Structure 1
C-alpha cells in the first residue's frame, strides 16, 4: 500500500486501523503461502530467493526486537533481544509478559477515555465509621471515606521524594532574628543549617516562666466551640486575635499512608479563651506567616511530645518554634507513672480523652463534627496543664531560679533544634529507619541465600516505587505480603498476584516487573553461591621441590616452590552445558570448514 493511501491516525483512526489490519493479513498470507517444510527446497532452487528470505527475516527480527524493547520500557521490564528463531521459540514467554503488560495499560487508558477515571467519578463519599475492638475493650473508630482526592495534587510546592536531592527549607523571611538568615550549605549532607539555631541557644526566657502563679482555668469545653480557619482572610483575622497572648497551645494531625513523606492535615491552636482549628491543606503556602508568633521568644509555645510536630512544621510550612515548652518532659522530671497527654488531661482536668479516632483519615473534607471536637480537645486544656506543671516544677526545685523548669526547657530546646531531612535509602547495608536490616531483625525469618537476595531486591523496589508514586511503603506492598513473595519467589505475574491477597494496586500494575526482579535476584544469588563454593572447594597448597643438576665443577642444588591446586573430581565446567555457547562454537567451526565454491552455484556463495 502506498504511503499516500495510508489514512492519518489522528484524523481517521478507524481508517488507519483498517489499513493496518489489511497489511498484517496480507503479510501473514504471503508468509504462509509456502509450507514450512518446503522452504529449504525453494531456497536451494533460487539463490536470490534465499537471500531475500534471509534479509526479510533479519529485518522482521530487528523490527520485532525494537518494538519489544520499547514496550518493555513502558511496562517497567528488562528483556534481552532475540538472537534468532531458536531464541524466539525458547524465550517467547518474555514477549508474552510484555504483551500482557501492554494490554493491562491499554485497559487502564480505555477506562480513562470512557470517563471512568474522570474527576467527576472520584467524588468523595460520605465518611464511614468502622469500629475496631481491642483486647482492653477500647473501641477504636476508623473514620474513612472512599475516593478521597489526594491533597498533594493541589500543593503549590511540588513533592520531591528523591533521596539524592536534599530537603529545601521553605523559610524565606526570618522574623525575630538575632542573626541573619544563613543560607550556607552544610558540607556533610548538602543541607542548610537550622535558621533559628542561634536564637534558640541564646534565648532569654520571660521572668514570668519562673514565678509561681495561680493557674488560669480553661473555658468550659461543652459551652464553647472552635473557630474553623480555611481561608487567608480567616487566617489574618486569627492572627489579630493572637496579639497580646503570652502562651499558645499547638498540636498537629498528620497523614502518612497515601504519601511517602507524609503531610500535615490539621493544626490546632488554642489561647486562654479561644480554640482555632486550621485547615493546613488549604493554607499550606500561607502558614509561614505564623512565624511572627512561633519564633517570638516572648511567647511560650506549649506542645506535648513535640518531636514529630517540630519537623512537620518545618517540612510543610517553614515554621520554627523558639521558646518551646514540651509538657512531656515534666512528666519525666516529676516521675509521673504515665507520660501521655491523656494521663495529664485526666489528672488535672478530669477529662477523658476520646482516642477512638486516632485512626481517622484527616484528609476528609468537610471535616466531620466529631473529628473536629476530637482535634480541639488536644489543645483546649493544655495551657492550664502547663500552669499546673510549671508550678509543681518550681515548688520542687532545689534552687530559687527554678532549676527543674530549666531542665525541661533545655530538653525542649533540644527538640526544637531538630532539623528535617529526607530519609536516604541504603540498599547495600540496609541501614536507616526504612532500611531492610530493621525489618529483617524484626521478622526473624530464616532465609537461604536466594531468598535473602529476593528480599533485598523487593525491599528496594518497594522503596523506589513508593518514592515515584508518592505513596507509603505500607500502601505499595505491606510487610506480610513482601515476606510471602520472599517465601514463594514466584517467577510470573500470576504467581506474584497470587501471593498478595488482596493484591495492592501497584503490585498488580507492576506484576511482570516484580516477577522479573525476583528472577534476576535468584539468578544473581545462584551465581554468587557458585563462585563462593568454587573458591572454598579450591584448596591451594605449596610444595617444595628440590632438584640436583650435575655441573663440571660440581653439583648444583635448586630449590623451588610449586603451587598445587586441588580440585574435586566432581567439578565440571558449567560452560559445557551452555547450549548457546556450544551452538556458537559449532557454527564457527562449520564456517571455517565450509567451501567457498559449489559445483551447482559456482563461486557465488
Structure 2
C-alpha cells in the first residue's frame, strides 16, 4: 500500500472508529439497568451480547500477546475488566508501539527490521520459541558491542566522520573526500562516494529484455555462515566474479542506543552467504567495498533507505550501482510494494513473519532464524529479472523507467548518516519529545509538560550512558504516567514505575530529584497546547460571508432585565469614585438607583421616630391606610398536649368592673380560682409600673458605659425595693417534650444509583 492508497484508507478507519466511539458513548449514557429490569427478554439479550463482547475482547488480547512476553488478561465479567485493566493497557501500549514502528517503516523514516521472509520448510516450523526484541528488561544476551575494537561512544555529538580507511574504485581521492563542508547550513562530511554514485550508470544488460534466470531450489542448496575474516576474504573473491548480487541486513536496536547491524545476507545466482557483523573486527568488512563500490556489479536491494545508513554507520560500506526493487514496483504502479507481495507474485511464496521481531544477536543462530535470513536474498535476483523486463516493456520514448529506478536508487545511496543530537528546547529530531507528544494526543498542564520534557531528557541521557534503547530504561507509557502523576515521594514513584527495570532502579533517587525540580520550574513555563500543532482532522473555520446562519450581535438593551437597569445618572458630581467591582455588579444585577450624596438621601428617605412604649394602654397614632381585606389566619391545632398556662391581659380597670379574666367567664369561676387570678393580675401591674419607672429614669440620666455590667453576665432588671429571688433558668426545649410524637421513620433507603426517567 503506497501513500496515495493509505490516505483514503486512514480516513475510512478513523471514520469507523469515530462511529463506534459515538455509539458506545450513547449506550453508556442510557440507563441500561432500568431497561434490564423492565424486560426479561432484553435482559437475556443484553447478557448474551456482553458475553460475546467479552469473548471477542479476550480473543483479541490473546492474539495481540502471542509471541511476546506479555500475558493476556482473562476477562470473565465486568469486575474482571476493572481488576485487569492495567494488563489491558499494557497490551494496547505494545500494539501502539508496533503500529508506530510499522508506520515509520512504511513511510521510510526508520526501518525497525528488514522485511525478512522465510521459506516454508518443515524444519523452520518446528522452532516455535526464540528470543524476541520485546524483552525490555536486562539483556539476556551478552552485549557484543562491549568487545568491539572501536568502542561505542554515544556522547559524541559532533559531525559523523566516515569510517573509510581506503577507497576502492575512486574518482575523487579519499583525502579530498574526507574534508568538511557546509551541508544544509551545518558543517559535516559529505558522502565519500558522492561523485562515484552520481556518475554510475547501469550496464547494458540492465536495459535488455531477457528471460528470468530461475533460482535454485531452497531445499537443495545451503548457505555459508561467515564468522571469520578469512571466510570474508574467500567470499569476496567469489563475489568479484558475479554480475549481480542481492544484499539485505538484519538490525537490532533494543539493547543499543544507535543500533547494531547484526547480520548481512548476500546472494549470487548460485550461492548464499550469512555474514556475522557482530565480531570485534567488524570494521574490517570495509574490504567488501571492492564489490559494493564497483559500478560494473549490480547490487540489488529492496527498501534500502535504512540499509544504506546502517552500512556506513557500522561498517563503512557504500553502494555504487544499486537497483532498489521497491522503486521498480512503484514505477510499475503495483498495488503493494513490499517484499512479501513481490515474493507472492513472482515466486508464489507465502512469507511467514514469526522471526521478523527476533533478537538477531543470538549466537549460534537457530536453524529457523538462519533459513529465515537466507530467504531474504535467495529469490531477490529472480524478482529483479521480472521487474526489469516489465520496466522495459512499460517504458516509452519520452520516459525510460530503468533510468527512473536508477535515479531513485542513486538518491538512496547518497544518504549520509548524522548522529542524532538531542534537542531539549524544541524536541525535534529522531527520538525527540515533540514527535512523541504529537502522536499521543493529550492535555498536559504546565507542570506536567515540564516534567514530561525533563524525564524524557533524563531517559535519553541514561540510555546513552548505558548504550541501551529507550524502552530498556522505561517504556513510553511509563513516561506519560510519570508526567501525569508527577510523584514527589519515593513510594509514589515506585508504584508508578512498577514493574521497574534495573537501570532505573539504580538511579531512582536522581529521577525523583529531576521530577521535583521540573515541577517547580513548570509553574512559569508553557503548556503543551501552546506549542502543539493544530489537529490534522480539525474542522475548518467557516467564513462569515459563507455562513448560512444568523450572526450573533450585542444588544444595547438587556433582553432579560428590560428597563430595570435604565435609571438616570445623578447630575451632581460624585463625591467618591465607584470601584470596578461595583460597576460590574450594577451591570449584572437589577439594583435600584442609589443616592450619591447625604443630602439627596435625606430628601429621598423620611426619618421615622419610634415612640417608646410607656404603658400597656398606649395606643398607636392613627395612620390613614387603605382598608385591606382581612386575611385568613393560619393556626395549628395541637392535640394530646399538656396543660397550658393562661395569659392575663393587664388592664387599668378596677377589679369589680372585670367581666372576664384571661378569656374566661368571671361568673363561671369558683372563689378560690378567682382569688388566684386577681393576685396574679396585681403582681403583673406592679411589675409593669416598676419597668415604667426604670425606663423614665434611664431616659433622664445618661448611660454610663464604663460602669455598666458585663453583657455576658448581666443581672435581670428588677424594680427598686424588690428582693432578688433565684429563678430557674429558662429551658427552651421544655415544651417540646409535651408535643405529640412525630411519624415513625420508614424503612431506611438503600444507597444506590438515582434514576431520572424521561417522559
TM range (shorter): 0.5 to 0.7
Which residue of the partner structure matches residue 267 of structure 1?
264
SS at match of 1:253: strand
Distance in 2 (CA, whole Å) between partners of 1:250 and 1:262 is 19
Counterpart of 1:196? Answer: 193
Deviations 1:170-211 (A, max 9, x none): 012000011112121124433211011111111132111111
Match for residue 471 of structure 2 among 462, 465, 474 = 474
- Pick from 176, 180, 186 the counterpart of residue 181 of structure 2: 186
Q: Give the unaligned 5+ runs of structure 1.
A: 1-127, 530-565, 569-605
Matched, 1:462 2:459: yes
Partner of 2:515: 518
Conservation of the 8 A alpha-carbon contact between 2:202 and 2:406:
no
Match of residue 585 from structure 1: none
Q: Is the 8 A contact 1:485 1:499 kept in 2?
A: yes
Contact 1:265–1:281 (CA under 8 A) maintained in structure 2: yes
**Equivalent in the alignment of 1:284:** 282
Does the 8 A contact of 1:306 with 1:326 survive in 2?
yes
Q: Does 1:443 align with 2:440?
A: yes
Distance (Å, rounded) in 2 between the aligned partners of 1:175 and 1:222 = 37
Aligned counterpart in structure 2 of residue 428 of structure 1, from 425, 429, 433: 425
The C-alpha deviation readout for 1:202-221, integer Å capped at 9, x for no partner, is 11321111111111111101
Inter-partner Cα distance in structure 2 for 1:159 and 1:340: 33
Mapped pair 1:173 → 2:166: yes
CA distance in 2, matches of 1:223, 1:386: 22
Q: 1:458 to 1:567 in 2, by over 3 A?
A: farther
CA 1:208/1:461 → structure 2, altered by over 3 Å: closer, same or farther?
A: same
Question: Secondary structure of 1:266's partner?
Answer: strand
Aligned with residue 348 of structure 1, among 346, 349, 363 = 346
My pick for the range that moved more, 354-363 or 288-297, is 354-363
Runs of 4+ in 1 over 6 A off after TM superposition: 131-135, 139-142
Shift of 1:477: 1.9
Answer yes or no: is the 8 Å Cα contact 2:157–2:419 preserved in 1: no
Question: How far off is 1:527 after superposition?
Answer: 4.9
Q: Does structure 1 residue 220 correspond to structure 2 residue 217?
A: yes
SS at match of 1:355: coil
1:304 alignment partner, one of 268, 286, 302: 302
User: Structure 1 length as normaliser, TM-score?
Assistant: 0.63
2:130 to 143, 165, 168: 143
What is the rounded CA distance, in whole Å, between the counterparts of 2:346 and 2:207 in structure 1? 20
Could you list the per-position Cα deviations for residues 419-466 of structure 1 after superposition, in whole angstroms to 9, with x for gaps in the alignment? 111111110011112111111111112111100110110111111111
Aligned residues: 402
User: Counterpart in 2 of 1:209?
Assistant: 206
The root-mean-square deviation of aligned C-alpha atoms, in Å, is 2.6
Larger radius of gyration: 2
List gaps (5 residues or longer) in structure 2.
Answer: 1-65, 73-94, 99-124, 133-138, 527-578, 582-759
Tell me the distance in 2 between the aligned counterparts of 1:457 and 1:323: 46
Give the Cα separation in 2 of the matches to 1:387 and 1:490. Answer: 61
Distance 1:491 1:350, change over 3 A: same
Asked whether the 8 Å contact 1:141–1:358 carries over to 2, the reply is: no
| TM-score, scaled to structure 2 | 0.51
1:127-152 Cα deviation digits (max 9, x unpaired): x97699999xxx99772187301010
Q: Do the aligned partners of 2:197 and 2:320 also contact (CA within 8 Å) in 1?
A: yes
More divergent stretch after superposition (282-291 vs 143-152): 143-152
By percentage of residues, which structure has more strand?
A: 1
Equivalent residues of 1:183, 1:192 under 8 A apart: yes
CA contact (8 A) 1:305 1:328 kept: yes
CA contact (8 A) 1:425 1:435 kept: yes
Tell me, in whole angstroms, the C-alpha distance in 1 between the residues paired with 2:423 and 2:152. 21
Task: Report what 2:237 is aligned to.
Answer: 240
Q: Is the 8 A contact 2:446 2:525 kept in 1?
A: no
CA offset at residue 367 of structure 1? 0.7
